[in-house]
Amino acid sequence: MKTTKSWGSKVGYASAAALLLVTLAGPASVFAETAAAAKTGSAAVIEKTTSSVVAIIGKPGEGKKVESRYQLAHGTGVIVRSEGYILTNAHVVKDMRNITVVTSDGKSYAGRTTHYDEESDLALVKIEASGLTPATFASPSDIQVGEQVMAIGTPLSFALRNSVTSGIVSGMERSVHSSYSLIQTDAAINPGNSGGALVNMKGQVIGINTLKYVEYGVDSLGFAIPVDTVQHVLGHFFKYGKVKRPYVGVELNESWEAVVGIPSGSGLEVTYVEAESPAAKAGLKKGDIIQSIGQTSVNTLVGYNEALKKYLPQEKISLTLRSGGQSKTVELVLGEVKTADVKLVQDAAGSYIDSDQGKTRIGDSHYGWSMRYPAGLIQMNQSDEGSVTFRDAKEEYAITIHVEENQSADLSPYGLLRKLDGEAETVLERRYVEEGSQPYAKLVGKADGEYYYQARAFHKGDQVYYLTLLVSEEADYQNNAKRSSYEDLLDTFTLAFDKQDKALKDISSYEDKNTVATEYGISFDLPANWEEGYGEGMTYTHTEEDVDLSVRVSSVSSGDTLKDWAARDEERFKRTYVEEYRKVEAPADITVDGVPALSQRFAYTMGDEWKHALVLYIFKDKYKYELQFEYAEEAQEAAEKTMADLIASVHFPKDSMNASIGFIQDENELLKDTDTVTVTSEKYGYSIVVPESWSTTSREDFDSRYAEYLSQLGTGRTFYFYGGSIKLSAVEDGHLAETVSRIEKEHQTNHGIDAEYVYTVSDEPMLGLTVKKFALQYISKDIPYTLNQYVFEKNGVVYTMEVRVNEAVKTDALWAQIQQAAASITFQEPKQ
């Protein structure tokens, strides 16, 4: 079975990304292709169509790896309107900056992306031109398997623009990582062909080249977006400014036959219905089988999408279902899939803004330095700790800048010069330079017998700045003119950064926040000084401010609501703390990233200081998200600002949920106070029944390798619950009277030290025995506790049971659990 992925953070539209799968052999020459094609009239087709095909080039988007300042991204486009509208793949222009379009006559134009639809992998680029030759599109019904076609594009290199390859239509209505059906072709489609035209022998465009399948042993497997999808998307672009997709509100499974490609009439199984969706209002439920939309049978996810393509939001459709073994038809009014706005960062002229444009200096605003723009050098790497390296393309010269923090504020010239010791095998120059307003230590030397370098050390406040020129070969070092140009660059280094200087480019990589992008469909920004915490789930902490965050994700149970969820948590909180040790406020309605949510504040103390908690309850699609902040009362002011900033940063990015994530059980919904487990010690001859939520440790759980830890555990087993524990021990080689006497002496000693240490001793009936009970209340580190100790003998074994519980959590419910556990103890003959 195959499950759809929620599309656009909504369900009801099967989704997959159409992305270029790259690499293969170099392109065939346009001249060789043309010569071969001339016999079949291909030359005439090429002459007719190439004027409608353009090359697109630009800088890769931010975050993409760039090895050289000359590395550019490129693709292909097809002219669709004479006034300068060009169709291409969305993945070609995604995040592309400084778009340039080159037409077949060699003219170049600045371009800007005006429309963008990632789901169909189509986008429009606009150039300021007129009189262009739009492509002619074929009729969808005229396309036939086996007909000859040609692919026109810009493979591998921009220098190869308007290259032509030929082949046939190998298949129709294919589904390969796409939301809609594709045309399969054996015409060579290489990197850079994306967005180009697949044309028939009439010179008509039958599709837009989008991807090729690359795998060892697989050849001639390319795909194009068919003309009917192209015309559908273009129609929406020009009429609505975007593609308006209908929303049903279901997730679907394909049958195994559909997954492996066997013709199937099984329909699509509904695996999830979103609350308040059109499907929910029409009565669809999990397990229903959708067989047709209108008069169109649907057996695959792509077929489902193709059928919905005929409709607009707010239109009424009929669905034929098989539900509960019965066939029925329901009608519903379609909603609209919500899509995120695409940010197209452009200047007034319409081009993408080059962040280097107009810059004459670079610097780091966080570390407070600047220098002349290092023309001819490539920035290679950079760290958050203040290090950055530039080098030339031939790797002959390199400049590094490094900052050391927390240094002595009164560093002397001698001390600064000493900072440069130990690097050079041969010292060529070593001195303290006092020229100008910022003196520095200077060392010129030769290291490792190979490279030369000049290092400068500057001092400001508690920071030392190291500026180093590295020269790889002696011959390059002897090239005085070239070396001097780099030394002149070093001379422009200054310990200042003017934020008002528009010609100064800030290259700082320091982040005062880190974005946490999870696979659970949620992301948020944490302050840079936060760390991952310990424990289950996603936990984060700031030890200095004493603020913690935990994030829990689970599935929404059928019929659950935010208010019911919050009410269950509030009831659990009240069962945990005694009334005078807790505070709780009523939940408040809020929105998080446009999603309705509840927030509720809690406070509690274990008897020493008050802790506060802010809990957010969020439903998003079929999952629920609980964000819990916890902070100390004295940190409240700082915590409030941190929480506000963090909540404002929460996003639910489209398609960020890992598609493999299924149902996640909320364990709190399963756990009941009445659920218990029986723990037996054969060695010491007893069994005890305790709540399943309690944890336990005993030396019987470990082997002799943990001798040191075992000695700390003693002979007992401890059961831990929140705020306390029960420890049940067997006194090896013990006697009842001696054990009672020893424990009483310990209490007497404590009373002698502290007169407020008061305890009582009594004989109590328990477990069919008369046991000795020591009872007291005491305060440890300002935290009040109740401690009861019981001593008794059974089957020749002396046992002690110690019950310790914090007064803050000594609720009636917990005390009843403790008493039930104590009363459940049974005895057997110890195993020898």
Catalytic residues: 91, 121, 194
Under 8 Å between Cβ of 523 and 515: yes
d(CA 448, CA 426) in angstroms, rounded, equals 9
d(CA 657, CA 660) in angstroms, rounded, equals 8
Q: Count Cβ neighbours within 10 Å for each residue of 146-174 and write b for 16 or more, e otherwise.
A: eebbbbbbbbbebebbbbbbbbbbbbeeb
Taking Cα atoms as reference points, which of 583, 572, 600 lies closest to residue 722? 572
Q: Bridge partners of 398?
A: 391, 470
Reported residue count of the chain is 832
Tell me the CA distances in angstroms from 445 to 139, 355, 431, 532, one per residue in order.
Answer: 73, 36, 12, 44
Q: Based on the number of CB atoms within 10 Å of its own CB, is 205 exposed (0-12), middle (13-18) or buried (19 or more)?
A: buried
d(CA 351, CA 345) in angstroms, rounded, equals 8
d(CA 832, CA 830) in angstroms, rounded, equals 6
d(CA 268, CA 423) in angstroms, rounded, equals 70
Distance between terminal CA atoms of the chain? 56
Strands (E), 4-94: 53-59, 73-81, 85-88
Both tokens assigned to 391: 């080098």
d(CA 71, CA 63) in angstroms, rounded, equals 14
Cβ neighbors of 25 (< 8 A, separation 6 or more) are: none
Half-sphere exposure of 137 (CA within 13 A, CB side): 19
DSSP assigned state of 649:
H
Identity (one letter) of the amino acid at 51?
S
The three-state secondary structure class of 512 is coil
d(CA 415, CA 369) in angstroms, rounded, equals 21
If you search the block for the tokens 């996810």, which residue do you land on?
301
**Three-state secondary structure readout of 317-368:** EEEEEEECCEEEEEEEECEECCCCCCCCCECCCCCECCCCCCCCEEEECCCC
Rg over alpha carbons for the chain, rounded to the nearest Å, is: 37
If you search the block for the tokens 């040609």, which residue do you land on?
150
Q: Could you give the angle at which helices 42-49 and 30-37 cross, rounded to 10 degrees?
A: 130
d(CA 54, CA 52) in angstroms, rounded, equals 7
The three-state secondary structure class of 633 is helix
d(CA 794, CA 291) in angstroms, rounded, equals 71
Cβ neighbors of 630 (< 8 A, separation 6 or more) are: 547, 548, 549, 550, 611, 612, 613
Show the DSSP H helices in 621-719 as ranges: 636-649, 667-670, 707-713
Under 8 Å between Cβ of 540 and 534: no
Tell me the CA distances in angstroms from 663 to 160, 553, 555, 556, 687, one per residue in order.
Answer: 50, 10, 6, 9, 36
d(CA 7, CA 228) in angstroms, rounded, equals 22
